[in-house]
Structure 1
Amino acid sequence: MSSTQLFFCPVSDYYANLLQISLNNKDLLSGRSVHAQIIKQGLRASAFLLNNLLNLYVKCWSTSVAHQVFDEMPTKNTFSWNTIVSGYAKSGQVDLARAQFDQMAERDIVSWNSIVTGYNQRGFHREALKMFSEMLKDSYLKPDQFTLASALSACASLENLNLGKQIHAYMIRTKFDTFGAVENSLITMYSKSGGVENAREIFDSLKDRDVVAWTALIVGYEQNGLNEDAVALFRLMIREGSKPNSYTLAAMLSVSSSLASLDHGKQIHAVALRLQEASSVSVSNALITMYSKAGSIGAARRVFPLHQHRDTVTWTSMIIALAQHGFGEEAIELFEEMLALGNNPDHITYVGVLVACTHVGLVEEGKRYYNMMQKVHEIEPTPSHYSCMVDLFGRAGLLQEAQDFIEKMPIEPDNIAWGSILASCKVHKNLELAKVAAERLLLVDPGNSGAFAALANTYSACGKWTEAAKVRKSMKEKGVKKDQGLSWLQLKNEVHVFGAEDACHPQRDAIYAMMAEIWEEIKKMGFVPDYGSVLHDLDEDVKDHKLRHHSEKLAIAFGLLNTPDNTTLRIMKNLRVCNDCHSAIKYISKLVGREIIVRDATRFHHFKGGVCSCRDYW
């Protein structure tokens, strides 16, 4: 019987049906049994059956066996080639996919889509766009929605707005009927590439908006820092009756994290619970981060054990949360548990572990984990890891070790590393190293106001007022403006912002009166103002007045005036909390019987009953 006759014989149809059942059930074992029967029945010449068999192995992720079947096929058609190319591409073996693609005598749209999509999904975005460009040179082939969606996705990943616009122009010129995936890809491309206004125009023009379109624009707003627009769009989505999915909710929780808005985050959590999406990986991870950034580490702790399918991001999110709130030992215990359960950390996990060690002064443990990262998990240090180590040594007062570490780094230290050294020099009053660090920081970032301010503050801390004044004068002459220290808190969906000696708030008189009363009461309790925190040569009475009106103290006084007794105050600050405020807030928390949570530029401080969670190490 010839192979042509076999193609139409009932036996071939029988085995093809069995292969389809195996494919539908993703049952590779049954598929192998059918494969054995095909060989036994002498049907290996049937292109129809072999293509079905090839498709089974590819869809069941058995590419090595698929390759063997492909090599043994007596005849191969375009379907055969497309199947093997697609199989390699989807399994991440894009080099093998490209090798097979290059050998194809004839290519159709499926062939090109397989290689373009394969490159894009594996992060080879430039190669994906290069292949897309090669495809356009073929006058007989026109891209379809899958090709264009992949090309636009590659542009989004590269944030290449110009090329994205060219693809969009091509679609307009050829009157391509954009719908579904292509429209959503356009929204994502414009959002990620800095053209969020164009993304909104496309979104507004859509007749039927699916959840992907809503989510794409919400994510675009969030990534561009347009958090209020993201909130407004989400509310419109709910009003119009569109149901958010886990990715929408995760994006909105990220918005809440950026705003550090606990109330807003709780509302999104409630929506996630109602839609039964709270247990999804993306939402659970976002919840941990949101609660942590909003100052509610207790809520983050409660979410974590409810997470049934913890991935590396889940563990990392909780480790970083604990580290930022000063629970370094607990963060390290969690990391060790992660390792014991066979979960592999990534480079971000190790940033969290090193931060945990830094904030509680575990220098030897930090050095051990830094070495473990490289030797055990084969993770090459990034600038973030180097900066963590410099900070670890600097905060512990080991400035010589910090300097030695910087000199041995295989890359040029960045502004974060030198900034850490400068901050440590001020605390530990090391003028010589401060001069070096400031000079090097200004070489890396000439307009860095922090370099001038930190050097001036170090001179002031050492009592060298003339030198401090010279640095501030130089700063003024060069037009470098110091970042203003600001503190804020949210009350009834309104954010109240305070600067030092702020005179603009409508409740200024009541706030100042409250702070004056608190100041006298905590002095009676034993509080002694730290006049060294005023980095100017002034009389003590003037220093006392200035210290009393630091931004975080005014924010706390406002909070005490406008919130019920026993509620927690959550204060955000853009700079590091000073020694005097840190000491004063400990006394205030005991005086008023409240927990006061302050998030400064590097970490959270939980003040309660006269003590701080950082144990005075920050």
Structure 2
Amino acid sequence: MSKPRALFFKTNKQSSIVFGISILLPFSSTNVKRFWQFFATISSNANSRHPSCKFLFSDLLKNQRLDEAREVLNKIPFPGVHLYTMITDAYAQNYRLADAIQLFEKMPIRDTVSWNSMIKGCLNCGDLITAKKFFDEMPGRNVVSWTTIVNGYLQFGKIEVAERLFFEMPVKDVAAWNSMIYGYLKFGRVDDAVNLFREMPSRNVISWTSMIDGLDYNGRTDEALIFYRKMVGSGVQQSSNTLSCVLKACANVMALHFGVQTHGQIVKLGFCFDEFICSSLLTFYANCKQMENACKVFNEKLHANVVIWTALLTGYGLNHEHGSALMVFEDMIRMAVLPNQSSFTSALNSCSGLQALDKGKAIHAMAVKLGLDTDVFVGNSLVVMYTVCGNINDAVDAFKNISEKNVVSWNTVIVGSAQHGQGMLALTLFTRMIRDEVDPDEITFTGLLSSCSHSGMLQKARCFFEYISLYKPTVIKLPHYVCMIDVLGRCGKLEEAEELINNMQVKPNSIVWLSLLSACRMHSNLGVAERAAESILDLEPNCSAAYVLLSNIYASAGKWSDVSRMRLRMKQRGIMKQPGCSWVTVRGIRHEFVSADRSHPLSEKIYRKLDWLGGKLKEFGHVPDERFALHDVEEEQKLEMLSYHSERLAIAFGLVATAEGGAITVMKNLRVCGDCHSAIKLMAKIVGREIIVRDSTRFHHFRNGMCSCGDYW
């Protein structure tokens, strides 16, 4: 450093200051203070217009060393209003509003720019009252002053006050009109925005783009595309932002032809390699189920931008190509593209789609390394991923790690707890949610009623339902009725459930009646079942679930002639029963099974394991429940049919294909039957492993001869 210091004093004053600053600024404030001795020797000749002073002052502000910049300002004999404005603006940008106001009030001269800067600074710091005070005190307000305060009121959601000030403006430029139009659109006053747009004396590209984006945002996408056509016809030069908004609108309504035409316009105008345009094109083609075209857009250039990679990753997820989505995520890492919150969210959603717990855990570990596991969006996706993959404990841990939880976070973990039969946990979480002053919404109450249903908490369910009926009538929706009817049905209150349906404030749909019919299957109530099935078929004549459930109820009651009648009606109407299917994911590969399936390469080992389990079940005193063999066949055939249900084959495969001691997670598309439920409890005890089965209604965690549902599902 000795050589540069020698040069420092050999050069002229101005260049020596600049050179000295370039050496000292990267170091500590102590080094900068050593500069004052030299600076004092020239300060008498310096003024606010001196380039070296400006350099030092602006560089300190750029490096956010505000206190040192203030010292420089204090040593300048006659600093101009521009330097004062620079530092008050810097104070406001760093949320030191009190310092900004104090210095502003000491300024010997204040011009229009300084007043406007102070008003904007107050608004950026969230102080609308002080901003309005300065606006009222300002001696010579211009159009920028008016537009700034109008934007401030819009920023704080006070659209009526902003509207009044806008119409009081003595002079309005295009920016002022654009601000009010944007405010109207932001707060859903679309017709007012359209009328104001028509009244504008002149419009620019921002005016048109605001209308296109705002109409699309408010669900009036067809009008947005009409506005775009008018914009092109009026000869206004389109910006990349305009085209990005048009592509987003095309994506929202899957307007493939219009979007392809816009793509042609993008090529014509030379915006092909604009990163935002590229991302919008990827999203557009993905939404329109054109992943091949999306890949072509992506492959036109080697991208290092995380937004573009994330758009492709998300596009695959939207098209349920989750395996390809995760390959894109792996390629991102390999290409040293650092994932952001959206990348992790999309990747975790694909893990949920595949029930790929191992990959989800690996992505979780990566998020932890980058410090993104506490992000609310990543955290919410982690909760969903662990919940869907059968691991509620890790889901709750991921929820606890979220730094700033929103209502979606609480709803996700409450609904997840309900799905896993953790009713008391769901209620505890709800209590904490209220304590944290987070307002519950309709999804929250759906989760609470569902948790009551899966845990047999009838009285608590009645309390919740009565509360939302009396105090939140706008929140209550059909899903709440479905949950309440499910609670009553599971508790055997079938007549009360039927009465609730008949007295609903909204018209019941087939799902409401199906919930009652399912409960009739559980409690073998044929009378209510027939009335429920009749109501379902009146609403949805080809509802296969109604036929199957009623047929199963007849079969359980031994009414085989009625079973035959139902099956004949299904055949005549061309209604097909959904086949039962179970699957297990091992090392990223999904293995599917149907009842009595022998197509799997490991079938011999699977059936050998099932036969061994069958012998052990007998030793433990298990007696097959023939009511769940829903065919009129000989007893031996019934026992064989029960023994080879799809979930049992999947469990046997899990035992054969996974390491000893590890949990086995089985997914099933239909409700697990009562006999399998009893058998799996004993299987878990026999093999000394946890067996998790997710059926169409919930998760069952089988451990040591017990199930998490308490035999209540």
Please, what TM-score do these two structures have when normalized by structure 1? 0.88
Deviates more, 1:460-469 or 1:104-113: 104-113
Counterpart CA distance in 1 for 2:598 and 2:274 is 55
SS of the aligned residue for 2:95 comes to: coil
CA displacement at 1:558 relative to structure 2: 1.8
Which residue, out of 567, 580, 602, partners 2:675? 580
Q: How does 1:150-549 map to 2 (within 5 A)?
A: 150-161=245-256, 163-373=258-468, 380-549=475-644
Take 1:502 and 1:75, find their aligned partners in 2: how far apart are those partners? 81
The residue type paired with residue 109 of structure 1 is V
SS in structure 2 of the partner of residue 537 of structure 1: coil
Indicate conservation of the 8 Å contact 1:94/1:119, yes or no.
no
| Cα distance in 2 between the residues matched to 1:133 and 1:25 | 39
Higher CA-based Rg: 2
Q: CA deviation at 1:440?
A: 3.3
Kept in 2, the 8 Å contact 1:187–1:217? The answer is: yes
| Alpha-carbon distance change, 210 to 489 in structure 1, aligned in 2, over 3 angstroms | same
Partner of 1:6: none
Q: Would the alpha carbon gap of residues 23 and 163 (structure 1) be closer, same or farther in structure 2, given more than 3 Å must change?
A: farther
Residues 354 and 24 of structure 1, relative CA distance in 2, 3 Å threshold: same
1:172–1:413: structure 2 CA closer, same or farther, 3 Å change rule? Answer: farther
Provide closer, same or farther for how the CA distance between residues 431 and 283 of structure 1 changes in structure 2, counting only shifts above 3 A.
Answer: same
Does 2:657 correspond to 1:562? yes
Q: Go from structure 1 to structure 2 and tell me whether the alpha carbon gap of 1:184 and 1:574 turns closer, same or farther (over 3 Å shift).
A: same
Query: In 2 relative to 1, CA 58–127 (structure 1 residues): closer, same or farther, beyond 3 Å?
Result: farther
* Alpha-carbon distance in 1 for matches of 2:408, 2:435: 17
AA of the residue aligned to 1:24: Q
Q: Per-residue deviation at 1:249?
A: 1.2
Q: Among 92, 112, 118, which residue is 1:23 paired with?
A: 92
Paired residue secondary structure (1:552)? helix
For 1:396-436, what per-residue CA distance to the aligned partner results, in whole angstroms no more than 9, with x for missing partners? 22222222222233333334323212211211222233233
% identical aligned pairs: 35
What is the letter of the counterpart of residue 120 of structure 2? Answer: N
- Counterpart contact for 1:86–1:115, Cα < 8 Å: no
Equivalent position amino acid for 2:694 in 1? R
For residue 3 of structure 1, what is the aligned residue in structure 2? none
1:117 Cα deviation from its structure 2 partner:
5.3
How far is 1:325 from its partner?
0.8
The partner residue of 2:120 within 35, 38, 55 is 55
1:114-146: CA deviation from partner (whole Å, max 9, x where unpaired):
56556666x566499279538716735323223
Q: Residues of 1 paired with 2:116 and 2:637: CA distance?
A: 87
Q: Using CA pairs under 8 Å that are at least 6 residues apart, name the structure with larger relative contact order, 1 or 2.
A: 1
The C-alpha deviation readout for 1:366-391, integer Å capped at 9, x for no partner, is 12223434655675123322322222
* Deviation of the 1:529 alpha carbon: 0.5
What is the CA-CA distance between 1:53 and the residue it aligns to?
3.9
1:259 counterpart letter in structure 2: L
What is the match of residue 109 of structure 1? 205
- Superposed displacement of residue 535, structure 1: 1.4
Please give the root-mean-square deviation of Cα atoms over the aligned residues, in Å.
3.2
**Mapped partners of 2:436, 2:615: distance in 1:** 53
Deviations along 1:201-242, whole A, 9 cap, x unmatched? 222223434111111121121122111121222222222221
Deviation of 1:327 after TM superposition, in Å, equals 0.9
Q: What's the secondary structure of 2:632's corresponding residue?
A: coil
Separation in structure 2 between the aligned mates of residue 421 and residue 181 of structure 1, nearest angstrom: 51
The alpha-carbon deviation at position 502 of structure 1 amounts to 0.7
3-state SS of 1:528 partner: coil
Gaps of 5+ in 2: 1-77, 164-179, 185-192
Equivalent residue number for residue 4 of structure 1: none
Deviations along 1:92-132, whole A, 9 cap, x unmatched? 567853378737544433455556556666x5664992795
> Partner residue of 1:5?
none
Distance 2:589 2:637 in 1: 33
Indicate how the Cα distance of structure 1 residues 51 and 137 shifts in structure 2: closer, same or farther if over 3 A, else same: farther
- Equivalent pair of 1:94/1:118 in contact (CA under 8 Å): no
Residue 74 of structure 2 is matched in structure 1 by: none
Q: Is the 8 A contact 1:161 1:195 kept in 2?
A: no
2:712 aligns to what?
Answer: 617
2:43 is matched with none
SS of aligned partner of 2:484: helix
CA distance in 2, matches of 1:558, 1:164: 48
Deviation per CA, 1:522-556, whole angstroms, max 9, x where unpaired?
A: 12211110100011222211111100011111111
Deviation at 1:192, TM superposition (A): 3.0
Q: Quote the offset at 1:584 in angstroms.
A: 0.5
Shift of 1:29: 4.1
2:203, 2:466 → 1: CA distance? 50
Shift of 1:333: 1.1
For the 8 Å contact 1:312–1:343, the answer to whether it is kept is yes
User: Deviations 1:460-506 (Å, cap 9, x if unpaired)?
Assistant: 12221111111111111222111110111122322211110112112
Query: Contact (CA 8 Å) 1:82, 1:114: kept in 2 or not?
Result: no
Map Cα deviations across residues 54-112 of structure 1 (whole Å, 9 max, x no partner).
433443445576678778886644x5576466556655567853378737544433455
Q: What CA distance in whole angstroms lies between the structure 1 residues aligned with 2:555 and 2:135?
A: 76
C-alpha spacing 1:180/1:443, structure 2 compared with 1 (3 Å): farther
Q: Per-residue displacement from partner, 1:554-574 (whole Å, max 9, x unpaired)?
A: 111222223232221111111
Rate the CA distance shift 1:94–1:480 in 2: closer, same or farther, 3 A. farther
Distance 1:62 1:137 in 2: 41
What is the aligned length? 604
TM-score (norm 2): 0.77
User: Residue 698 of structure 2 corresponds to which residue in structure 1?
Assistant: 603
Partners of 1:197 and 1:68 in 2: CA distance? 57
What are the Cα deviations for residues 325-373 of structure 1, in whole angstroms up to 9, with x where unaligned? 1111111111111111222222222221111111011122112223434
CA contact (8 A) 1:19 1:34 kept: yes
Q: Which moved more, 1:158-167 or 1:434-443?
A: 158-167
Distance across 2 between alignment mates of 1:54 and 1:180: 34
Distance 2:604 2:633 in 1: 25
Q: Residues 441-472 of structure 1: CA distance to partner in whole angstroms, max 9, x if unpaired? A: 34444443212211211221222111111111
Query: In structure 1, which of residues 132, 146, 151 is the aligned counterpart of residue 241 of structure 2?
Result: 146
- State the distance in 1 between where 2:472 and 2:710 align: 32
CA contact (8 A) 2:93 2:124 kept: no
Aligned residue for 2:666, secondary structure, equals strand
Please list every run of 5 or more consecutive structure 1 residues that lacks an aligned counterpart in the other structure: 1-8
Kept after mapping to 1: 8 A contact 2:272/2:278: no
Aligned residue number for residue 23 of structure 2: none
Q: What is the SS of the residue equivalent to 1:267?
A: helix
